[in-house]
């Protein structure tokens, strides 16, 4: 999993069996250590609850209860829970399968974004694991890239069921348990949860895999409010190359109303596989705009190629030898075509009668010269025809652009509430709206620096040249 970190607990033996090694991860409820099961002589992962949380009897009991529920899951795409116990100070812990590899977050940091094929492969495995939990009556509640593990051999597993609860046990509470960047609207607002909350989080993960960013960024309160009140922006406004069918599935999975989402992870898995089956290979393998190359600098899709490495065009192509002989290659160039005269065949034919005073074409009086001569085409006239044709094509293309996506066309204003001004500008630019102004205004409920709306409003149809005003909160 993640890189090992030093920790003061390294070395203790839990219940005479599990020898703690270095810390490899830490979350909101527990810390994870690499450990050795001395009885079976194998490497495991031990998840030790934070001591301050263990002081709450209800929280400790929930930790143990949910661990037992997660231990019932046996699936190739779910990290197995092997054992459970208590440390000498009474803090509960879990013993889990140790996955040697990295997390999906690590992959995103390296790549920036994935191709549709790669994203679907990862998500199908992860959602398959979630589907097993949903069939067992459990909801994960904290689906995010950090909790999707990728083993060295490529196996994908879902980890950290520490917030898992049975479907019937999800009730409103005064705090949000989960990661706000992937939290469903009902989790943020404290409403009753079911399997569709995990579907929403999985949709946000897929959104991030395809375009390299989450739909909402900023302060936690602003992000939570955006999930609760706003709508997830159209994925294709940020990543135009994403296939339309895949963008529609992301939109369906991240619908604010749970009734509009797939019913559970099993339903979502079926839709993922259906979309993948209908996409062409070139759609599946299209590289994303925000893919990070090895040097770390993102290269926008469609950027001009480096002229030093650009493939030669038809007029710059180097001379190539044809065949395997050692003869020198010869470049054939068009020569100046001399006037060519077609003469009659060598058979003796009587000379045609000539009318007095009639001149033959070409001014020649040779009776054997034909009436028509083959002469080279007139270059100026040909060039004029080609230029007129090129102008006609350019005019048609310009007219099409003008009507479709240019100043004569319209585009839809994306939803940017809950984001920061810079991210909002990027969303708008992705929709073709570059003329953006910022208007600051106080707002008693929104932290400073958060977009609270636009003029025209989200989903309004505007022309690309029109100005869009961002209303940014200055705080109370």
pLDDT at 104: 95
pLDDT at 115: 95
Separation CA 23–CA 109 (nearest Å): 21
Query: Catalytic one among 37, 89, 106, 142?
Result: 142
- Helix 265-278 vs helix 195-211: angle between axes, to the nearest 10 degrees? 30
pLDDT at 279: 96
In the chain, pLDDT over 70 holds for what percent of residues?
72
pLDDT at 69: 75
Instruction: Give ranges for CATH 3.30.200.20 in the chain.
Output: 13-97
pLDDT at 290: 57
295 belongs to the catalytic site:
no
Rg (CA), the chain: 34
Distance set, CA 158 to CA 80, 148, 367 (Å): 9, 5, 95
Instruction: Give ranges for CATH 3.30.10.20 in the chain.
Output: 411-473
CATH of domain 13-97: 3.30.200.20
Instruction: Give ranges for CATH 1.10.510.10 in the chain.
Output: 101-284
Contacts 24+ apart (CB under 8 A), 37-45: 37/95, 38/13, 43/98, 43/100, 44/18, 44/82, 44/95, 44/96, 44/97, 44/98, 45/1, 45/95, 45/96, 45/97, 45/98, 45/99
Residue closest to 78 by CA, chosen among 238, 216, 240, 198:
198
pLDDT at 434: 84
pTM: 0.60
CATH of domain 101-284: 1.10.510.10
Q: Which residues of the chain have pLDDT under 70?
A: 1-11, 28, 162-178, 290-382, 398-409
Residue closest to 205 by CA, chosen among 137, 151, 129, 154:
129
Domain 411-473 has CATH 3.30.10.20: yes
- Give CA angle at 410 (406, 412), nearest 5°: 130
């Amino acid at each position: 999993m993640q890189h090992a970190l030093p920790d003061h607990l390294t070395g203790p033996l839990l219940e005479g069996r599990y020898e703690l090694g270095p810390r490899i991860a830490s979350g909101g409820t527990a810390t994870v250590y690499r450990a050795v099961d001395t009885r079976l002589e194998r490497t495991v992962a031990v998840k030790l609850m934070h001591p301050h949380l263990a002081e709450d009897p209800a929280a400790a009991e929930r930790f143990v209860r949910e661990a037992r529920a997660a231990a019932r899951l046996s699936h190739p795409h779910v990290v197995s829970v092997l054992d459970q116990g208590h440390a000498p100070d009474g803090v509960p812990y879990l013993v889990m399968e140790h996955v040697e590899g990295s997390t999906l977050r690590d992959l995103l940091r390296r790549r920036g974004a994935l191709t549709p094929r790669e994203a679907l492969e990862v998500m199908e495995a992860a959602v398959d694991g979630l589907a097993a939990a949903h069939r067992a009556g459990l909801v994960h509640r904290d689906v995010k890239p950090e909790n999707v593990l990728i083993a060295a051999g490529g196996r994908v597993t879902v980890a950290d069921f520490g917030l898992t609860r049975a479907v019937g046990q999800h009730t409103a509470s005064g705090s949000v348990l989960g990661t706000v960047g992937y939290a469903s609207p009902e989790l943020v607002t404290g409403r009753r949860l079911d399997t569709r909350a995990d579907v929403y989080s999985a949709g946000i993960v897929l959104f991030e895999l395809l375009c390299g960013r989450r739909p909402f960024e900023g302060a936690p309160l602003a992000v939570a409010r955006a999930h609760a009140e706003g709508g997830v922006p159209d994925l294709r406004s940020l990543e135009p190359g994403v296939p339309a069918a895949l963008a529609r599935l992301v939109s369906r999975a991240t619908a604010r109303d749970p009734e509009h989402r797939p019913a559970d992870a099993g339903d979502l898995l079926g839709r993922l596989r259906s979309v993948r089956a209908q996409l062409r290979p070139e759609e599946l393998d299209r590289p994303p705009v925000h893919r990070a190359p090895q040097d770390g600098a993102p290269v926008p899709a469609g950027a001009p190629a480096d002229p030093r490495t650009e493939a030669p065009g038809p007029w710059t192509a180097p001379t190539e030898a044809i065949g395997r002989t050692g003869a020198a290659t010869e470049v054939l160039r068009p020569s100046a075509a001399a006037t060519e005269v077609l003469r009659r065949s060598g058979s003796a034919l009587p000379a045609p009668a000539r009318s007095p005073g009639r001149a033959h074409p070409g001014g020649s009086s040779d009776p054997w010269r034909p009436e028509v001569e083959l002469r080279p085409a007139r270059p100026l006239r040909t060039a004029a025809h080609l230029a007129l044709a090129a102008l006609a094509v350019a005019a048609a293309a310009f007219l099409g652009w003008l009507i479709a996506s240019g100043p004569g066309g319209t585009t839809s204003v994306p939803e940017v509430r809950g984001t920061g001004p810079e991210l909002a500008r990027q969303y708008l630019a992705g929709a073709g709206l570059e003329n953006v102004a910022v208007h600051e205004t106080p707002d008693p409920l929104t932290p400073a620096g958060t977009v609270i709306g636009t003029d025209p409003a989200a989903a309004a149809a505007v022309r690309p040249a029109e100005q869009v005003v961002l209303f940014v909160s200055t705080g109370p």
